[in-house]
Chain A
Amino acid sequence: MGVGIKVEKLNAWFGRTQALYDITMEAPANHATAIIGPSGCGKSTFVRCLNRMHETVPEARATGGVKIGELDVYNGTSAVQIRRRIGMVFQKPNPFPTMSIYDNVAAGLKLNGFHDHARLDEIVERSLKLSALWDEVKDTLRKKSGASLSGGQQQRLCIARALAVEPQVLLMDEPCSALDPISTGKIEELIFQLKEKFTIVIVTHNMQQASRVAEFTGFFLLGKLIELDKTEKIFTTPSDKRTEDYITGRFG
C-alpha cells in the first residue's frame, strides 16, 4: 500500500540560488497529486527533493522536513533506503540498453543482492503486469533488449523497473512528454490503476493530463507553492488569480 507524503518548510538551493521556498504540503496515500507550473518554477526540483535526488547535483542542498509515511527523509535515513521506498520515472524513458527486458526489470533487485530466480521470475511478471506491458513482451522477455521497445513500451518498462523493488511512492517527472497520444493514454490508464497500490506524485506540463489522472493538483510559481487543492477545484475555480492566469494560458 502507498503511504502519505508530508512536506514541511522545504527549501532547496543550487549553490546560492534558491529554487524552493518553504514548501509545505501533503500528498495523501493512494492518490495521485499533480504538480504543475511554468518551466523553472521548481516542480522537478521539488519531486527530486522527495527522494533526495536533488542532493546528487554538485552544490545542491535542501532543508526542511519530508516524511514518507513514518520515514523521515532528511533525518537519520540513508538516501539508498529512501530510494527503495520511492520509485521514480523520468521524462525520457531510460532502459538499460544492453540488458534484456527481463534484466531491466530485475536490475534493482539484483543490485540489492536478490538472486532467488523463481521469486525474481514472479516479481518480473507481476511488475510487467502492473505496468500493463506483460502481454506485449512476455514471449521475448530474455531475447529482446529494453532499447528495442517503442518509446511508450520503454516508459512502461521503466515503470515496471521502478515497481519491482516494491516502493510505496512513485514519482513521475513528465512521464509522457516524449510519448505519442496512444502511449500517453496507456500510461495515464496505468497511473489510474497504480493508485490502488502506490502514492503517486506526477510533474506535468500537460494540464489536461493533470486533470485526467490526479485527485489533487499543486501549482508552483517561482519556487513557491501557490495553491494546492482538489484537481476539479484548481481547473474550474482556482482560488488564486496567479493559478487561473497560468492555467488559462495568460502567462507562463
Chain B
Amino acid sequence: MRTRFQQGLDDLRTRLLRMGGLAEQAVDRACQAYIDRDLARCHMVLEGEFQINVAEREIDEVAFDLLALQQPIAVDLRFILAVTKINSDLERVGDQAVNIAERAMDLVELPKADLPVDIPRMAAAVSAMVRRSLESFIEGKAELAQAVLEMDNVVDRMKDEAFITLVKTMNERPEVTRQALDALLVARNLERVADHATNIAEDVIFWVRGADVRHNVSAEPPVHQASTDTR
C-alpha cells in the first residue's frame, strides 16, 4: 500500500467535499436571498466566492502534485481527473450563485411583482441535483450519479417554461420588465448550475465505471465495476 499516495488522495477527497459544501451553500444562499429579497445574504454569497476560488486553486495544486509525483493509474487516475473536472464545475457553480445574488440585489431596489414563474421550485430542484451529485461522489456510486442526469431534463423544461411565460409577461406588463428579466436570468443561472451538477455526475460515473457518458454518447457497458476504494 502506498501510504503517502493514499494520504494525498484522501486529502484531495476532503478538500473537494469542503469545496462542494461551499458551492452548495452559495447556491442555496443566493436562491434564498432572491426569494426573500435579503441583501445581507447576497453579501454573504459575494464574500463566499473568494473562499471557493481559493479552494479551487488549492485542489488543482494537490491534484497536480499527485499526478507529477505519484504517476497514478487506473481508478486512481480516473479519480484525480474526475476531481479536477468537478473542481472546475464547483467553481462555476459558485460564479452562478454570485450571478443570482447580483440579480437579487437588483431586485431589492424594485417594487415587488407577482410573476408567473416558480423560482423556489426550480431552486429546490437544482439544489437537490447539486446535493445528489456530491452524494454520488461521496458514496462513489454511479447509480446515484445516473439519477442526477435524469433530473437535468426536468430543470431544462422548467427553464424553457420560465422563458416563455416571462417573455410573455414582459410584453403584456412592461412595468415589471426588470423584475421579469431578473427572474429570467435567475432561471438561466439555475439551469446552468444544473448543467454543472450533471457534469459532476458524469465525472463520478467516469471515475467509478471508467465510462464516458458525456453528451449522451453511451459507452459500452462495463464487464466489471472497478473498485472505487481510494481509502
With A249-B1, A249-B5, A250-B1 given, is the CB distance from A241 to B74 under 8 Å? no
The interface of chain A, by Cβ under 8 A from chain B, is 207-208, 211, 235-241, 243-245, 247-251
Q: Is there contact, CB below 8 Å, between B72 and A237? A: no
Residues of chain B within 8 A of A247, CB atoms compared: 73-74
Residues of chain A within 8 A of B223, CB atoms compared: 239
Question: Closest Cβ of chain A: how far from B202's Cβ, in Å?
Answer: 15
Q: Is there contact, CB below 8 Å, between A244 and B1? A: no
Q: Is there contact, CB below 8 Å, between A249 and B224? A: no
Residue in B77, B223, B226, B229 whose Cβ sees the most chain A Cβ within 10 Å:
B226
B78 at the interface (CB under 8 A from A): yes
Q: Is there contact, CB below 8 Å, between A238 and B71? A: no
Residue on A with the closest CB to B3? A249
Residue on A with the closest CB to B209? A237
With A244-B226, A244-B227, A245-B227 given, is the CB distance from A237 to B1 under 8 Å? no
Q: Is there contact, CB below 8 Å, between A237 and B71? A: no
B210 at the interface (CB under 8 A from A): yes
B2 at the interface (CB under 8 A from A): yes
Q: Is there contact, CB below 8 Å, between A235 and B2? A: no
Total number of B residues with any Cβ neighbor in A under 8 Å: 19
Given contacts A237-B78, A237-B210, A248-B72, 12 further A-B contacts (CB under 8 A): A207-B73, A208-B71, A211-B73, A235-B74, A236-B74, A236-B78, A237-B74, A239-B223, A247-B74, A248-B74, A248-B76, A249-B1
Q: Helix, strand, loop or mixed for chain B's interface?
A: loop
Q: Is there contact, CB below 8 Å, between B226 and A237? A: yes
Interchain CA distance A47-B1 in the complex, whole Å: 28
B75 at the interface (CB under 8 A from A): yes
Residues of chain A within 8 A of B221, CB atoms compared: none
Interchain CA distance A241-B225 in the complex, whole Å: 8
With A245-B227, A249-B2 given, is the CB distance from A236 to B210 under 8 Å? yes
Interchain CA distance A211-B223 in the complex, whole Å: 22
A-B contact pairs, 8 of them (CB 8 A): A235-B73, A235-B77, A237-B226, A238-B74, A241-B227, A248-B73, A249-B5, A251-B1
Using an 8 Å CB-CB cutoff, how does the interface string of B194-213 with A read, 1 for contact, 0 for none? 00000000000000011000
Residues of chain A within 8 A of B5, CB atoms compared: 249
Residues of chain B within 8 A of A251, CB atoms compared: 1
Interchain CA distance A249-B210 in the complex, whole Å: 18
Residue on B with the closest CB to A227? B224
Question: Closest Cβ of chain A: how far from B163's Cβ, in Å?
Answer: 40
Interchain CA distance A50-B71 in the complex, whole Å: 32
Residues of chain A within 8 A of B74, CB atoms compared: 235-238, 243-244, 247-248
Residues of chain A within 8 A of B209, CB atoms compared: 237
